[in-house]
Amino acid sequence: MARFRQTLPRLARALLYPDAVSLRDLPAGRHDLRLDFAFRPPDLPTPDAPDLGTWPRELAIGRTAVYPAPEVFSARLRRVMYWPATNLVLTDRRAPIRDSTVTVLPIDRRAWTERFTRGVHRLPGTWTVFRSVHLLHNYFHTVVHDASRLYMLRQPPYCDLPEINLMMPGPPTPAESFVLDRYLPGNVRVQVFDDGRMLRPDEMILPSFLARRWMPHLPRPFLDDMLPHFLPDRPRRRCNRIFIGRKEGSRRRGARNILNEDALWRALQARGFQRHYLEDLGFEQQIELFYDAEAVVGAHGAGLTNLLYARDVDVVELHAARILIPTYYFFSLTLGHRYAWWCADGDHFDADFAVDVDAVSARLPAHLR
């Protein structure tokens, strides 16, 4: 069953997008492709990676003791289109460019019903894109991958351009507004489009992403540039032992809910942890909470994105399946945190699960047991 779940989506995408291409596949001269800059961040030592368990097949590159960082680049193109419904950049023949999303191409019937039939709206000037995935309200992708595109725009030659327009398919989400208000370059102007047409800019800036899907090894220059725009201007207190909980009323079935959360909470409470429902906190409140973190325990999910604002913390991540999704392993190594994990015996990483309270407690560092 697990293999079927992995194979079926791949077959669906092959049928929906047989014409998908990467930037390097584009015919020379056809889109006036110009590479503005390219660099490769330092590799990341990952000594625990070979022992983390059975990862999905596409993560084989992350199962080595040293993780090879991807090449980072940014290019300008002409005669391409932006498809707002999916946040994809298309060639002049409407083939999706894989480099325009950090995740997989969306399984969406509009790939057949709209991709080749929608009208085109021409946009004069220089334009760029912001969203990294086709799904809205994804806090991790907004704070990490979308913000990394803004970082690229803050570099030469883009910071020297008089004006860049940013295409936004509909009003920004609260998380997007939070990031844009703090990190949008001064020469970039957000333009909202919500009429469903394909958009054809005279010139498109298409930055790559700083990290691969599931493996967010973020370059230090990006973190040094971005974080001062978000962090409190005060010393850290390192007083918060955080357990990320989920309120009964906000739980969705099959969303990595901990079925015996209260039992785990009682064990952690005896060790000085406080349970926090992050859905009740604003973005600035979450930053303040994690800025002063000493230790964090929580199920795999967007709440762990807030590790970005912590420093030198102990992390215990809880996984629903035997397959460990290594997002926050790489995140923790990049940020200098100490990472530990516990896996349930399920078949899918999005399933609800019960934890072995004693086993999870044993994963805490000695001074927290």
Answer whether residue 294 is part of any domain. Answer: yes
User: Are residues 193 and 277 located together in one domain of the fold?
Assistant: no
Q: Is the peptide bond before 157 cis (omega within 30 degrees of 0)?
A: yes
CATH no. for residue 355? Answer: 3.40.50
User: Are residues 163 and 27 located together in one domain of the fold?
Assistant: yes
User: Are residues 84 and 193 located together in one domain of the fold?
Assistant: yes
**Taken in order 137, 41, 299, 352, is the CA torsion positive or negative?**
positive
Which of 208, 143, 211, 151 has its CA nearest to residue 173? 143
Specify whether the CB–CB gap between 44 and 218 falls below 8 A: no
User: Are residues 212 and 111 located together in one domain of the fold?
Assistant: yes
Q: Which of 221, 255, 286 is the last residue of a domain?
A: 221
pLDDT for position 76: 96
Tell me the pTM.
0.93
User: Are residues 154 and 289 located together in one domain of the fold?
Assistant: no
Tell me what the pLDDT averaged over the chain comes to: 91
Give the integer Cα–Cα distance in Å for 44 and 215: 11
Least reliable range by pLDDT among 35-39, 174-178, 344-348: 344-348
User: Are residues 57 and 206 located together in one domain of the fold?
Assistant: yes
pLDDT for position 214: 87
pLDDT for position 177: 97
Answer whether residue 226 is part of any domain. Answer: no
What are the pLDDT digits (tens) for 90-148?
Answer: 999 999 999 999 988 988 888 888 999 999 999 999 999 999 987 777 899 999 999 99
User: Are residues 94 and 208 located together in one domain of the fold?
Assistant: yes
What are the pLDDT digits (tens) for 287-343?
Answer: 999 999 999 999 999 999 999 999 999 999 999 988 888 999 999 999 999 999 999
What are the pLDDT digits (tens) for 192-227?
Answer: 998 789 999 999 999 999 999 889 999 999 999 999
Write out the residue range of the structural domain in which residue 192 sits.
Answer: 2-221
